Structure 1
């Protein structure tokens, strides 16, 4: 909510299908972002997006996934990807951060000294927190 979200849903603790249906009168979400790169999440997002909605794939998959691509046609979904590896993308991101137009601090859940690398990696492997950051020096 600190970042402007109206509604937060925890897929591990809530019936997301019901919550989205209730909030959208059964129409589905206007826009879905899949940021994890997990196949079940991609399948869920494709299910949750409304007819003529927009699906944005941000997370990268470790291997090819199986999902019902017919749904893209049946629902006339706008599908797009995001891959920020060109210098202009990074420059734009840094400008947005420098001018305070994007807040990232609320996303950081753990900070670590470099000497604490093992604890940091263990935390990551347990999938705890959202963003782990090493602090140099």
Structure 2
């Protein structure tokens, strides 16, 4: 089979690989579509702490069941989206149903070979059936949408709130869509990429170009100087770590969704004086994944609206080169 392989820092290559051997309780999946995530870019740039060279990346993907043993609801030939989380089932978190924050959590495409290949083996319990009215591209968007679903569900956002999203990447965009659906009175998205902000504007969101306009002042303009009710930090840099505190109202709520590559400085004194709540999120639960499927199936969220490029897996290196430039890319998908 052909597979996109992480060779070394900023080196990826399409290679010929042997088909993976299916183990007990696994299915062999013929991959249809797989998306590049920010985590894949961390691996690509050599910044991910666990991913090793010769890895087949890719944890956002859909496909068709090629082989499956035993009696299961999902059968050979079924189209599926894949939950890439693999938990131990035995740690403190797993015993209490918090499998997504398992102490030994592993990811397909990070700790094990993933979906940037023609075929991949997947634990049967990680498969989710796709209806005929969900496209392969939408199936690959379920995983990032599940991240956004989890973020909204962890928040205390209420109908009529003003929501500020720092970062117009795929996750920030999907959070914006969900916040609007949940009844936010105003959704503001801040970023430095003209291209990504143009996509956000086309989707009907109020945009702030952080290169020329102060996102904090804009959030306060809409709230008579009070500040946003909820801030979702989805950019992961020092400037947004400052902005998330400055832009929030007294007793407001901040959700840090992004994964910081280096530890930011955070003004705890400002948070203390205004009793600001700070929450963090990590990936998603299995229930969040199911809700993401429901939202896409019922056309309540059009996640494919943020796809900027669709490439063949043969253009694997080109996809990563494109993804390096936020001024021309948003979500890039590979077809196998």
Partner residue in 2 for 1:17: 216
| TM-align CA RMSD | 2.1
Larger radius of gyration: 2
Report the alpha carbon displacement of residue 52 of structure 1 after superposing the two structures with TM: 1.4
| Structure 2 portions without partners, runs of 5+ | 1-200
The answer to whether structure 1 residue 74 and structure 2 residue 273 are counterparts is yes
Partner residue in 2 for 1:101: 300
Partner residue in 2 for 1:59: 258
Query: 2:307, 2:333 within 8 Å by CA — same for their partners in 1?
Result: no
**Equivalent residues in 2 for 1:1-137 (5 A)?**
1=201, 3-5=203-205, 7-129=206-328, 131-137=330-336
Mapped to 1, the partners of 2:314 and 2:243 lie a distance apart of 39
Mapped to 2, the partners of 1:132 and 1:87 lie a distance apart of 23
Label 1:2 to 1:100 Cα distance change in 2 as closer, same or farther (>3 A).
farther
Report the alpha carbon displacement of residue 130 of structure 1 after superposing the two structures with TM: 5.3
Number of positions where the alignment pairs a residue of Structure 1 with one of Structure 2: 136
User: Comparing both structures, which one devotes a greater share of its residues to helix?
Assistant: 1
Mapped to 1, the partners of 2:220 and 2:330 lie a distance apart of 30
Mapped to 2, the partners of 1:105 and 1:13 lie a distance apart of 29
Mapped to 2, the partners of 1:108 and 1:31 lie a distance apart of 26
Report the alpha carbon displacement of residue 51 of structure 1 after superposing the two structures with TM: 0.9
- Of 106-115 and 32-41, deviating more is 106-115
User: Comparing both structures, which one devotes a greater share of its residues to strand?
Assistant: 2
| Structure 1 portions without partners, runs of 5+ | none
